[in-house]
């Protein structure tokens, strides 16, 4: 198939049900979901190197289009109807440089995402692209992008949301802040969200505003189990 999409994710300490739900979420339009298993213990793994390993996994699996996704992310269900025609049209037009992004929605409850301040203006996550062997990719140890660096002028945003589940549990917000500070305390590899060079804002609910997922824009399976984030250590 000329538009064969294969997804890849990483599992460290995430529970199996979280990964299995991701597979079920993507299965209507993705040919396969590959899982890179990394050690549960030890420091934060080098994301750029892990992404290189995942690209090799995708090539061996015969992917034409690569989709990078985390275990605690879900793509809205209508992607099954919206995305394949776009990729097919790109292939028919001879485009091998297209990189597609998803508007990011930070879930704060099982059915609502945060929209106040910067929470409502997150940059789209460019995760879907034609897998080219001669491309140059980001190689940062933390918060590394996945799309080829040479494709910035070919980037488009799909009309399909990407829902992030990790912030639903309040304890995860503070644990994530601690983990990011431990992994990169000088912000050498991170773009600070505030002038304080810290992650305290991640658990701050000042001016909190939530928006319920609109009808017809949801994802399945729904978030039905508490997911506890475990920081690398």
Distance CA 96, CA 80 (A): 21
> Is 46 domain-assigned?
yes
Q: Estimate to the nearest angstrom the gap between the alpha carbon of 192 and the chain centroid.
A: 19
Strand partners, 79: none
pLDDT band at 95; cut points 50, 70, 90: confident
What is the total count of domains within the chain? 1
Tokens 């998803």 -> residue: 102
State the Cα torsion 228-119-111-21 to the nearest 10°.
Answer: -50
pLDDT at residue 152, as a whole number: 65
Residues in contact with 60: Cβ distance below 8 Å, sequence separation at least 6, in sequence order: none
In which domain, by residue range, is 94 found?
5-102+124-163
> How far apart, in Å, are the Cα atoms of 52 and each of 36, 49, 96, 99, 196?
11, 5, 19, 17, 33
pLDDT tens per residue across span 224-233 = 999 999 888 7
Q: What is the mean pLDDT of residues 167-177?
A: 94
pTM assigned to the model? 0.94
pLDDT tens per residue across span 43-68 = 888 999 999 999 999 999 999 999 99
**Which tokens go with 175?**
């644990």
Render 55-117 in DSSP notation, one character per residue.
HHHHHHTT-SEEEE--TTEEE-TTHHHHHHHHHHHHHHTT----EEEE-EEEEEETTEEE-SG
Distance CA 128, CA 65 (A): 7
23-37, 57-71, 111-125, 177-191: which range is least confident on average? 177-191
């Amino acid at each position: 198939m000329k538009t064969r999409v294969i997804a890849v994710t990483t599992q460290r300490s995430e529970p199996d049900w979280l990964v299995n739900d991701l597979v079920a979420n993507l299965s209507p339009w993705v040919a396969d979901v590959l899982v890179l298993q990394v050690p549960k213990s030890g420091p934060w793994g080098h994301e750029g190197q892990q992404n290189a390993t995942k690209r090799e996994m995708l090539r061996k699996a015969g992917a034409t289009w690569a989709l990078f996704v985390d275990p605690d992310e879900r793509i809205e269900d209508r992607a099954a109807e919206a995305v394949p025609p776009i990729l097919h049209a790109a292939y028919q037009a001879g485009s091998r440089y297209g990189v597609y992004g998803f508007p990011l929605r930070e879930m704060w409850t099982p059915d609502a995402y945060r929209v106040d301040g910067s929470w409502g203006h997150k940059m789209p996550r460019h995760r879907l692209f034609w897998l080219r062997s001669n491309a140059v990719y980001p190689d940062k140890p933390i918060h590394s992008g996945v799309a080829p660096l040479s494709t910035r002028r070919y980037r488009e945003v799909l009309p399909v949301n990407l829902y992030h589940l990790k912030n639903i549990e309040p304890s995860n917000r503070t644990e994530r802040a601690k983990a990011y500070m431990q992994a990169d305390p000088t912000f050498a590899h991170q773009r600070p969200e505030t002038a304080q060079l810290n992650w305290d804002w991640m658990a701050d609910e000042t001016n909190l505003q939530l928006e319920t997922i609109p009808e017809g824009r949801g994802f399945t399976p729904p978030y039905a189990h508490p997911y506890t984030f475990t920081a690398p250590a």
